[in-house]
Amino acid sequence: MATGDSVLDSLEELDDFSDSGSDYEVTIKASKRKKRAVPAPQPPKRPRRKAALKVTSSSSPIPTPPDPSLQQQQQQQQQQNSRGTSRQVSSRPVRRVYEGNQGISAEDIYDAVRSGKSAMVAVVDEWLDSYKRSREVGLLVLINFIVQSCGCKGVVSREMLDNMQNAEIISTLTKEFNEDSVNYPLSTPGPQLKRFKASLCEFAQVLVRSCRNSLIYDEYLFPSLLALLTGLSDSQVRGFRHTSTLLAMKLMTGLVEVAVIVSVQLQTTQRQYDMENSKKAHDRASDRMEELQATISELQEKREELSSMMNATFRGVFIRVVCIEELGMWLKTDPEDFLNDGYLKYLGWTLHDKVEPNTGIDNRKYITKQSVTVM
């Protein structure tokens, strides 16, 4: 930038200097005055050169004529510097705009989750910026991240998202899945599996927490996401089934936590309204009561929307061990909603699973662990 500024400054100085009158113009004017003073007639061009030499010699020494080849090299160098400067100035805004439009990709999120070295809050925040610019593009990025996390090489295009139902999308992805390979990220043995699973669960939880104040209620992101995960959980492909079930349950756990927060806020606001309403008529603050009533209505709508998403997810995802593990957490986090026969019956069914006896054994171990924790 320093080189470009100096070149531009020198060019501006040359323009200002030529506008005000250059040495060459001053020399010509002086030569004309000298010509009138000389009585003898002389050829027109030769006396001008001599007069010019006289004027310049009186004020300063006669400059040495510049080397034409050296002058040409300097001009070429200035032109190259000018072109280089213009390229530097113009390329930066273009790159900035390109990066802003590109946003985070599904591969970026997957690499961050797989490595386990990136802060999930920063990853989610970057994705949220992309979603706020275009919710369709943001949802598509998240869907392709889920597909990649399942071990599928297929990609969901914008046309597929706009024109196909979830069942059709899953059917297309199933055809592109490598059926010969039984390995997928959540089945990889060794420490890599533990790291990937922990990062994947953390991503889901951070996503819900980051959206809990606004985007979770936009009636687009989470309903679309949970509907796809519900469909994938019923797939014949184990990679789809296992990964989508885990993600759906972790998202559900996040929704339960948000629902508890909303319930506490609703109870607090309701108490404040009741206290204000219990005052005498002339002591009541009508504006305050209207504000509290509006807040109560808003919180009730949020609570109903959260309950709708949780019920659809719970009933849509086929019951497995991972579901029972999360159900135990929901019972402790929000017993008011989950400690009833509508949810407890699933525990009874899995404890007496005749098709998969190991499922009942695992569930009994988990319930015993949770009981010890509560005690």
Q: Say which range, 85-99, 146-160, 199-213, 278-292, has the weakest mean pLDDT.
A: 85-99
Kindly tell me if the per-residue pLDDT of 250 is higher than 90.
yes
20-37, pLDDT tens digit by residue?
444 434 333 444 444 444
CA dihedral 136, 138, 143, 144 (to 10 degrees): 110
**Whether pLDDT at 262 is above 90:** yes
Confidence of residue 374 (pLDDT cuts 50, 70, 90): very low
Mean pLDDT of the region 2-15: 45
Express each pLDDT in 113-145 by its tens digit. Answer: 999 888 999 999 999 999 999 999 999 999 999
pLDDT of 367 strictly over 70: no
> Does the structure show a pLDDT above 60 at 335?
yes
pLDDT at 148: 95
Answer whether residue 212 shows pLDDT above 90: yes
Closest CA to 110 of 143, 77, 70: 143
pLDDT averaged over every residue in the chain:
75
Task: Read off the pLDDT band of 10 (50, 70, 90).
Answer: very low
Structure token pair of residue 34: 């000298």
Q: What confidence tens digit (pLDDT) does each residue in 337-351 have?
A: 878 777 777 677 766
Burial of 126 (0-12, 13-18, 19+ CB in 10 A): middle
Q: Which two tokens stand for residue 263?
A: 């319930």
CA dihedral 30, 34, 36, 39 (to 10 degrees): -170
Alpha helices, H only, the chain: 2-20, 23-37, 45-59, 68-102, 106-115, 120-133, 135-149, 158-163, 166-176, 191-211, 221-232, 238-277, 286-316, 321-333, 335-338, 341-351, 357-374
pLDDT average, residue stretch 348-362: 56
As a whole number, mean pLDDT of residues 61-73 equals: 52
pLDDT over 70 (residue 207) = yes
pLDDT band at 89; cut points 50, 70, 90: very low
**Quick check: 196 pLDDT over 80?**
yes
pLDDT value at 98 more than 50: no
pLDDT at 364 exceeding the cut of 60: no
Average pLDDT over residues 143-158: 95
Q: Give mean pLDDT, residues 228-240.
A: 92
Q: Distances in Å between the alpha carbon of 193 and those of 15, 113, 184?
A: 69, 11, 10
For residue 185 the two structure tokens come to 């990220």
**Structure-token pair, residue 252:** 């559900």
| pLDDT value for 177 | 78
**pLDDT tier at 333 (50, 70, 90 boundaries)?**
confident
For residue 1, give the 3-state DSSP assignment. coil
